[in-house]
Structure formats: structure tokens, C-alpha cells
Amino acid sequence: MALLYSKSAPRQTDPLGRDRDAPLQIEPEDPHATPLSPKPTVALHTTPEPTEGASAAMLHPRTVGESKAADWHRGISGQLMNNITDCVVHIHPPDLPHDIHEAARGFQRFDSCPGAVNFSMMDAEGQITSWCRGPVTVAHGSGLKWRAEKGVVVHGDLKRRRLPSEFVRLQCSSGRGRRPYNIHTRVLPRGNMAMRTTPPATPLLIVLLDATSRSMFHRLMPRTARVLQAELGGRYDVVEFFRFNALGGNTRHNTPFLFGGAGTRGDVTNRLWLQQLMQKMGYVNAVASDHFKATAVAHELEPYCHHVLAFREMFAPSKAFRNEAGDRFNFVSPDLKDHCLGGRLPFTYVFEYMRSFFSAYPNTSRFGYIHLNDGHNENPWSLEPLDAELGLFLEDMARHDPAIVLLADHGLPYGYWSLTPTGEQEVKNSLLVMAFPKARLSASQTAALRHNSQALVTPHDVYRTIATMPGSLGDLMAYPQSWARRLAYGPGLDLLSDQVSHRRSCEQARLRPDFCLCNYWRELPIAQATKQQIAAAAAAMNRQTLGYTQCIQFEPHQLLVTTAHALSSDPEIMRVTLQLKGFAEGPVLFIVDALWLVRGTPPGLVRRTAYVNQTKCGAPPFVEPLCVCRDSDAVQRM
């Protein structure tokens, strides 16, 4: 997404006066009909249980006369996306278009792990029962140092042992061939903590689904959507936010602001972390993740968490590795077997751990945070197994009456779907659902919540809302003065008390214009990109590889413009894709973010195509995508 300045291009319209270049407009089926208007009440959209092999489109059947636009405009609580805002969300209804659905057929669909062997169980006291006939290898511990004790015990020894650990891994050595293993997790309550028990404040549960847009959630998680539609068994007020706008297409752009409030993206020392605030107010904090470092703020949150379950740190500091049982554990793989641990998907252990945490501290102020990476996968069906469990987990947690925030940091930023016009918009439109026990909120707070569900909101607003949530942290006066001042003057608004304007602009929300839902890219003739702009792009790319002698310096005549787009809100801002001409090892496409260059911040430069048959020459990771090897034979023939 190279952003370069260009002269304004005339807008091309169809006979009805609509912008022909605008991607996938949301319209009624009759082009002359009036747009959909918000209605006070709408019957809930019900979906039957999907059958095995059902397509994504089959998961969202329509009643007679119900249009795709009506499907898309309908929210979890039955409300409609209104059209009284300037921010028109240019995204398809939830169903995958036919051509995209066909392209996805080669991916594996799954709902369980292959080859699971269950030979043990552990109760809440740590007592292990095993029906493995041979010796059992035991590794156990708590937190990130779970390997504290490891040894081989015989079957009889297990009957007399209670392990003082939160994470236990057992491997059965019985018989020949593969040695199966089981994993058990639980929370051991700690003593001597300054806990708030009288009266206990509102418990809080945050569940973050990494790389999951609002559309992706409705497309692939219909069971969970139905649980939320049913208001968690009728016990909750549930509100979905239609225009929740991520701050960027990466976890690092979002989680520091979701959990630490205002500040620059790289500033992690001068923030007020939610877990820090909660600890100050007497909460007991727990975090459970299948990939803790993916939160981008793991090291900052950990000191304020009393209980931590993090699989990546438990096994190895990389995305893909073989664990002790020989299984290849890789979160981004489209193959199911690379996701399984002990015959189960990691999120099942995360849910088990969080259930144990809330049960271990009854009548206590509790804050649980779950971070799941199932959506961070090019396989379009990767969220389906999670859908089978997440709704049940939320219903189970509702018995503790916590305030629940289900959200995503951003949509999927890579893969074939992200390259489509609507896919680019989905990256910005993250999932956000807030649920509160009935009668917990006042009438004015409930009204503010539903009003703001239609407004343009960001992670800044979510942070402010949670940090001052009624019944939990409450009045800012309870904070130290410096904390209260920072919260009071931060950029976010309280979604439970402030009425966010439905005319809120991208600038008012502190959103980059190229990453705001209200804006989109319009295709332009390639000729709109001038030689001066190509030269500016080459210079920006060369600045990033300056000093690395193994990388070539780009010349403007080597770069060919392959696509050109203009930002809908400002035709002066263009995005172009540049291809390195004559490179014998295959096409190399680059993205240069000139919008950042204009604002004086470090340029964002990205290589769009992956290395396939192309030579790497050992550049550091942050330079490698832009490095074309000077000594390559392919360069010599250019």
C-alpha cells in the first residue's frame, strides 16, 4: 500500500450517480429504494446448527424477502446498523463471495485433533488418576517456569502424589510406537494478597480473538453469535459495536492502547496498564493465552498478574517448533495437526484454566484476560473449532456475573481474502461486543452503550470504559492523582457515560486516514503516478537499506507501477504498488507508505510478495523484506 501524493482524479460514476470505483457498496436490493433505517426492535436472526461439510454461506440462511444488506446491518442484539452517520462501512455482508469460497476449498476443515489419547485426569486438589500401564514422565510447575520439576514415576506413585502446580504434563511410556501425552491446567489460590473482598467489585473478563474482524466472526462463529443473541441465557444485556475501528493492522498497533491507554506505540514504560490499575484496587489478575508474547505487551502485563498460563513460553520461543513429544506446534499453519497439544487444541486448556481461576477466588474481585490466536491463520475455517467451545465457555462464566468484553485487535491482515477490497476494510473493522449482567447498569448507561454501538469507536475508548467501569474501579477519585489526571485527559471516551457523536470524524477518533473505516481506496489509472513520485519511493526504500552493502540501491527506472489507488476522503493521497523490473528470480512487489513520510515519522516499507525462489543474503529481519541481494545472478542480469 504505497501512499503517494498525486493530483486529484475525477470521480467516475454510473448512470445512477454512484461511484463506480467504490468497493462493494451496501445497498438495498432495489437501487431506487430508500436506505435501511434503524428500527427500535428487530426479531433475532436465528441460524440452525450447521451440518458437517456445510459451506460458510449455508451457515447464514435467509428468510424469504430478507436481503443481504439486511443481514449485514443486523447486530447481535437485533439492532440495525444505522445510516445516520457519515461513516459508511464498505464491507460485504458476512457470506464469502462465491469465488473466494471456491478458492478456500483446498483448505482443511476440522473440529477436533487427530490421534487424541486420554489416559489421565487431575482433580482440583492436584490428585492425578492415570490408566497408563507403563511409567509416566511428569513435568510440572506454575507460571512461565513450569519445568521446575521433571521425573519419571511409576503408576503406583501417582496415587500418592498431589502436585502443587498449575500446569502438569504427563507422557505415557506404555507399549510401542508413539508415546501419547496429556496436559492438565488449574489455578492454585495464593494467600497473603491484598484482595478486595468486602464488598467485591464487579468481576471482569476480557476475551481477545486475535486477527478476527466483525465480519469474520459472523461468518465463521454462528454458534457463539447465537449464544450472545440469547443474552447468555437471558442473564445479560449484550451490545455489539458496528464501527469499532482498529488503530492498525498488527497486534502491536492495538494492544498497548487497549491495555495501556494513550502514548506512542513504542512507549511501554509510561503507560497505566489495566492490570496495574486493577491490582491497585484489590483485584486478583490472571492471563491465559495460547501464545502470550503475541499480545505485544506480555512483559508489561506479567508483573501485575497473579496467575499466568502461556503456551509459547512453556514450549519454545518461536512460532514453529517440535515439543517434547515430537509434535510440530505452529499457530500459523493451515494444517490442524500443527495446532494440537496433547490431543487437544490449546484454547481448551486456556478455558479450563480461566474457569479454575474464577472458581478459585469466590467473593473476590477478579480480572481475567484471555488472548487466542486461532483467527491468525490463512485457513478460512480456523475459527470453527473455537466456535464450538467459546459460546459454552461464556455461558459457563456468566454464573460468576462478570462484565464481559469480547473483542479483536484487528482483522486478518494477510492471505487471499485480505487482498480483496472488502478484505482490506475488514482488517480495520474489529469485533467488539460488551455484555453486562442485567440490572447492573443504570438506564442512562444502557442507553449510552446502545447509542455508541453505532458510533466510530477505537481501542482508546475501550480502555477508558474499562478503566472507569461502574461497580469495579468506579470513580476516578479512587486513583492516585497522577493516574486520575491521565485517565481524565486521555483521548478515549467512556462508552457507558459519554454520547459519542455519530458524526465523529477519523481525525477526532485519532485514526490514520488510510486506516479509518470511513475511508476506502478507489482504483485509478496507473498513469496517475508520476516519475517524481516513483523517484521519491525509491529514495525512501534506499534509506531503509542504507549501510547494508549486500543490498542493492533502487533506481527509479527499475520500478514499475502495477496498481494505483486514491483515498476516498482525500484524492490527493495515492497508494501505488511498485514492481522491480527485470528481476530474473521472479516478481518482487513493494509497498511504500508515503503518508507517514509526509508527516515526518519513520516510513513504513513493506515487501508484498514472499520469498519463493529468490535469494536471501542475511540482512537483519527488519531490512530483509526490502533487501534484494547485490551478488545475486538475477541482479546481474537485470
Return the DSSP state at 10.
P
Are 217 and 295 in the same domain?
yes
The amino acid that residue 239 corresponds to is V
pLDDT tens per residue, range 207-216: 999 999 998 8
Instruction: For residue 335, give every residue at least 6 positions away whose Cβ sits within 8 Å of its Cβ, in sequence order, or none.
Output: 108
In a domain, 462, yes or no: yes
Per-residue pLDDT at 10 exceeds 50: no
Highest mean pLDDT among 11-20, 113-122, 309-318, 471-480 belongs to: 113-122
Question: Which of 455, 480, 515 is the last residue before a domain boundary?
Answer: 515
**Which grid cell sits at 498?**
459519554
pLDDT value of residue 424: 81
pLDDT value of residue 470: 57
pLDDT value of residue 611: 75
Interatomic CA distance for residues 342 and 231, integer angstroms = 34
Binned at pLDDT 50, 70 and 90, residue 244 comes out as very high
Are 358 and 299 in the same domain?
yes
Are 555 and 593 in the same domain?
yes
The number of distinct structural domains making up the chain is: 3
Per-residue pLDDT at 598 exceeds 60: no
**Residue 277 · residue 465 · CB < 8 Å:** no
Summarize the confidence of residues 42-62 as an average pLDDT: 33
pLDDT tens per residue, range 118-137: 888 888 788 888 888 788 88
Q: What is the widest separation between alpha-carbon atoms in the chain?
A: 82
HSE-up of residue 171 (Cα within 13 Å, Cβ side)? 17
In a domain, 72, yes or no: no
DSSP bridge pairs for 368: 205, 286
pLDDT value of residue 614: 79
Are 418 and 404 in the same domain?
yes
Interatomic CA distance for residues 350 and 372, integer angstroms = 9
Are 414 and 306 in the same domain?
yes
Summarize the confidence of residues 5-22 as an average pLDDT: 35
Cα R_g (the chain), whole angstroms: 26
Q: What beta strand segments (E) does 438-568 contain?
A: 456-457, 521-523, 559-567
Q: What is the pTM of this model?
A: 0.80
Q: Cis peptide before 413, with omega less than 30 degrees from 0?
A: no
End-to-end CA distance of the chain: 25
pLDDT value of residue 151: 65
pLDDT value of residue 51: 36
pLDDT value of residue 47: 31
Return the DSSP state at 471.
T
Mean pLDDT estimate for the chain:
74
Are 274 and 396 in the same domain?
yes
In a domain, 441, yes or no: yes
Tell me the Ramachandran region of residue 490: left when phi exceeds 0, alpha when psi lies from -120 to 50, beta otherwise. Answer: beta
Per-residue pLDDT at 463 exceeds 80: yes
Are 249 and 364 in the same domain?
yes
**Which grid cell sits at 360?**
478459585
In a domain, 109, yes or no: no
**Which grid cell sits at 518?**
470511513
Interatomic CA distance for residues 64 and 87, integer angstroms = 29
Are 273 and 367 in the same domain?
yes
The amino acid that residue 421 corresponds to is P
The amino acid that residue 586 corresponds to is G
pLDDT tens per residue, range 572-586: 777 788 888 888 777
In a domain, 249, yes or no: yes
Per-residue pLDDT at 96 exceeds 60: no
Per-residue pLDDT at 623 exceeds 60: yes
Are 307 and 434 in the same domain?
yes
The residue ranking higher by pLDDT, 326 or 509, is 509
The amino acid that residue 512 corresponds to is R
Instruction: For residue 146, give every residue at least 6 positions away whose Cβ sits within 8 Å of its Cβ, in sequence order, or none.
Output: 139, 140, 165, 166, 167, 169, 314
CA angle (1, 409, 431) in 5-degree steps: 105
Question: Which of 515, 548, 583 is the last residue before a domain boundary?
Answer: 515
The residue ranking higher by pLDDT, 430 or 109, is 430
In a domain, 32, yes or no: no
Q: How far is CA 360 from the centre of its chain?
A: 28
Per-residue pLDDT at 23 exceeds 50: no
Q: Domain span at residue 600?
A: 521-636
In a domain, 421, yes or no: yes
Which element (helix H / strand E) includes 634?
A: helix 633-636
pLDDT tens per residue, range 357-406: 999 998 888 999 999 988 887 776 778 889 989 999 999 999 999 999 99
Are 298 and 393 in the same domain?
yes
Helix 222-229 and helix 384-397: axis angle, to 10°? 20
SS3 58: helix
Task: Please provide the size of the chain in residues.
Answer: 638
Which element (helix H / strand E) includes 511?
A: none
Phi, psi of 572 (to 5 degrees): -70, -20
pLDDT tens per residue, range 487-523: 666 789 999 999 999 999 999 999 988 889 988 888 8
- DSSP secondary structure letters along 384-429: HHHHHHHHHHHHHHGGG--EEEEE-S----SSTGGGSHHHHHHHHB
pLDDT tens per residue, range 272-309: 889 988 888 889 999 998 876 556 677 788 889 999 88
SS3 366: strand
Summarize the confidence of residues 544-572 as an average pLDDT: 86
pLDDT value of residue 49: 35
**Which grid cell sits at 343?**
490431543
The amino acid that residue 605 corresponds to is L
Binned at pLDDT 50, 70 and 90, residue 32 comes out as very low
- Beta-sheet pairing, 559-567 with 521-523: antiparallel
Per-residue pLDDT at 25 exceeds 60: no
Per-residue pLDDT at 93 exceeds 80: no
DSSP bridge pairs for 129: 121
Summarize the confidence of residues 463-483 as an average pLDDT: 66
Instruction: For residue 460, give every residue at least 6 positions away whose Cβ sits within 8 Å of its Cβ, in sequence order, or none.
Output: 257, 261, 262, 490, 491, 492, 493, 509, 510
The amino acid that residue 313 corresponds to is E
In a domain, 244, yes or no: yes
Interatomic CA distance for residues 625 and 37, integer angstroms = 47
Are 585 and 629 in the same domain?
yes
Question: Which of 163, 179, 195 is the last residue before a domain boundary?
Answer: 179
HSE-up of residue 223 (Cα within 13 Å, Cβ side)? 16
Are 170 and 239 in the same domain?
no
Interatomic CA distance for residues 429 and 574, integer angstroms = 22
Per-residue pLDDT at 444 exceeds 80: yes
CATH of the domain at 463: 3.40.720.10
SS3 620: coil
**Residue 120 · residue 128 · CB < 8 Å:** yes
